[in-house]
Chain A
Amino acid sequence: MSEQFRTCPDTGLKFHKPAENLMKANAVAAVVFLLVGGIYGLLVGLTRWPAVHLLPADAFYLTLTAHGINVLIFWMIFFEIAVLYFASSVLLGCRLAVPKVAWAGFALMLIGALMNNYIVATGTSSVMMTSYAPMEAHPLFYLSLILFAVGALLGCMVFFATLVVAKQEKTYEGSVSLVTFGAITAAIIAVFTIVSGAIILVPTLLWSLGFIAEIDALAYRLIWWAFGHSSQQINVAAHISIWYAIAAICFGAKPMSEKVSRMAFLMYILFLQLASAHHLLVDPGVSSEFKMFNTSYAMYLAVMASMVHGLTVPGSIESAQRAKGFNSGLFEWLRRAPWGNPTFSGMFISLIGFGFLGGISGVVMGAEQINILMHNTVYVPGHFHATVVIGSTLAFMALTYWLVPILFRRELVFKKVAAWQPYIFGLGMSGVALFLMGAGTLGVPRRHWDITFSLTGGVVHEFPAAANTMLALNGLSVILAVLGGALFCVIIVLSILFGRKLGDEKQEPALIATPPDDAAYEGIGRGSISVPGTFVMAMVFFVAFALYYFINWKYLAETWGIS
């Protein structure tokens, strides 16, 4: 049995060989689909730029469909499966349960992802990721998503089985680590997501094959979003676990409070998925009571959880830094952070971008009535590029920089470029998020090939000139972001293929920080506040949040009466 394990010379973590191979396979597949989806994204951005308007209409809608599914589903879920195996097998130091099932899951996901890319590329399934019935795609489109989802469900089952193995074989004492707990949260949300996906996609497949006469369009929307929105909540739970992990990796940080952070994850488990209702706020047939309760994640308890993580993650970094002696002023701990290490900088940009851009816009847009102003405008993709790309994707990238030497035992190539990559990607994607949100507030529709209405025979609408400027700036930001994304893919692929082999030697500087002694945590901070810097940042966030929230109610009050 023991030859099945390798102890990492840098981290002391125990790697189970089958788990290691599975993580490698899933992570590599993830990066490949990120690259594919990113290239599609570049084409989308350049077509939206009115002065460039690169693609013809049918190619644009095909490209937008492929972009969404590749990056929002395939890149994310492949990577998350790797994270689940890491958080279970590696962090608990135990063997991965039933590797054969895990490989079967991987194979199903890969077949599904390839089949989906094929069928979308044929042009028969340009139905967008949402594939709203009764608009019909090729049956293979639904089948490919079902295969992928079943594969991912197998991955989740292997994860839960591994938790059982670790407990039975007593490979750890007491409770699982907070990072593993966050991964459990992600896996639970994944199970709900995938089951909902099956409930709606299986009948839709049968309908596309002619076995079922009709799919109710409203029921489709309701159930599909339990799949489509919840899948993004897997990402949130996963990337917040990764934030905690990177705080530990780069600083040796420990949770400010196990209880608080775990309760925040529990709020995710219970309520985060209710936000699927965000998509139904201006739909017919569902009551305001349903909309208000679900869109607010049961009175904003899951928003509270995100804001708690937003304090405790940087707070854990701040206390670790202060314990190491960077204890003066409000922000010495932050100034002395390793800003040239892409693992840290990527994580920190992810945290700030997710909170300030993605979080605030999401909660504001999710107020039942304010949603009238934004539903289906490009504000929506603006919002989720901040959550899913700056938040999740950048966090995943940050972790990958660390996984290359740890998991693949290869040194990163082009380290200087890698040090810049999170900034390039983060800046580009912040531009995308902001400019799309800006264009959305001016009413620009999403998923739209031609906002100049050049082919409607003279029935036109003129958007404010600022909308064109916003979309041009969005195009420039897309170029920057795709450059950043491509740099990431190239650095990772080249490092894995040609990076210097590290073997069993311990690296200098260390790849994981030594945690400060508990005693060093005594008396840090100011008075009874141990993390004053983080607390000030949280207050700035709160003020920005509240201001933006009220401004939007004011905008709403200025439009037509609606009742």
Chain B
Amino acid sequence: MDEEETPPLMQRILDNPFILLFLGVAAPAVLYLIWGIMEIISVPVAN
């Protein structure tokens, strides 16, 4: 029966708002905030 079948993985991810919330906060936190802060703190001091 189709009704008993588990949806594919991708649909289950899209159906879970909390997985999405985690991804939506983690991705920009790592790619934008953390990467950016690391670049700023590694700026050398002028002579």
Cβ of A65 < 8 Å from any Cβ of B? no
Task: Check A298/B39 contact, CB under 8 A, given A189-B24, A270-B23.
Answer: no
CB contacts between A and B, total, < 8 Å: 88
Q: Mark B1-43, 1 if CB is under 8 A from A, else 0.
A: 0000000000100110110110111011101110111011001
Q: Which residues of A contact B29 (CB under 8 A)?
A: 192
Task: Check A188/B36 contact, CB under 8 A, given A175-B15, A293-B31.
Answer: no
Flag if B23 contacts A269 (CB, 8 Å). yes
Instruction: Choose from A184, A195, A290, A298 the contact partner of B17 (Cβ within 8 Å).
Output: A184
Smallest CB separation, B7 vs chain A (Å): 8
Flag if B11 contacts A188 (CB, 8 Å). no
Interface residues on B, range: 20 to 34
A160–B14 Cα distance when bound, in Å, is 15
Instruction: Choose from A181, A218, A262 the contact partner of B40 (Cβ within 8 Å).
Output: A218
A216–B12 Cα distance when bound, in Å, is 42
Q: Which residues of B contact A270 (CB under 8 A)?
A: 23-24, 27
Flag if A226 contacts B32 (CB, 8 Å). yes
Cβ of A334 < 8 Å from any Cβ of B? no
Flag if B24 contacts A222 (CB, 8 Å). no
Flag if B24 contacts A188 (CB, 8 Å). yes
A184–B14 Cα distance when bound, in Å, is 10
Flag if B25 contacts A262 (CB, 8 Å). no
Cβ of A469 < 8 Å from any Cβ of B? no
Interface residues on A, range: 35 or more
Q: Which residue of A lies closest to B14 (CB)?
A: A262
Q: Which residues of A contact B23 (CB under 8 A)?
A: 269-270
User: Which of A10-18, A273-281, A477-485 lies at the interface?
Assistant: A273-281
Q: Majority SS of interface residues in chain B?
A: helix
Flag if B21 contacts A160 (CB, 8 Å). yes
Q: Which residue of B lies closest to A196 (CB)?
A: B33
Instruction: Choose from B14, B21, B25, B33 the contact partner of A222 (Cβ within 8 Å).
Output: B33
Smallest CB separation, B9 vs chain A (Å): 13
Smallest CB separation, A238 vs chain B (Å): 14
Quick one: which of B17, B31, B35 has the most chain A CB within 10 A?
B17
Task: Check A222/B17 contact, CB under 8 A, given A188-B24, A285-B43.
Answer: no
Flag if A286 contacts B36 (CB, 8 Å). yes
Flag if B21 contacts A188 (CB, 8 Å). yes
Q: Which residues of A contact B17 (CB under 8 A)?
A: 160, 163, 184, 188
Task: Check A274/B40 contact, CB under 8 A, given A191-B21, A192-B24, A269-B24.
Answer: no
Residues of A within 8 A of B (CB): 160, 163, 175-176, 181, 184-185, 187-189, 191-192, 195-196, 199, 216, 218-219, 222-223, 226, 230, 262-263, 266, 269-271, 273-274, 276-277, 280, 284-287, 290, 293-294, 298
Report, nearest first, the 7 A-B pairs whose CB atoms are least far apart: A188-B24, A273-B28, A269-B24, A222-B36, A270-B27, A285-B43, A192-B25
Would you give 29 A-B contacts (Cβ < 8 Å), ordered by A? A160-B17, A160-B18, A181-B14, A184-B17, A184-B20, A188-B17, A188-B20, A191-B21, A192-B24, A192-B28, A218-B40, A222-B36, A222-B37, A223-B37, A226-B28, A226-B32, A266-B14, A269-B23, A269-B24, A269-B27, A270-B27, A273-B24, A274-B27, A274-B28, A276-B28, A286-B40, A290-B35, A293-B31, A298-B31
With A219-B40, A290-B36 given, name 19 new contacts (CB 8 A). Answer: A160-B17, A188-B21, A189-B24, A191-B24, A192-B25, A216-B40, A222-B33, A223-B37, A226-B28, A230-B28, A262-B14, A263-B14, A269-B23, A274-B32, A276-B28, A286-B39, A287-B39, A290-B35, A294-B36
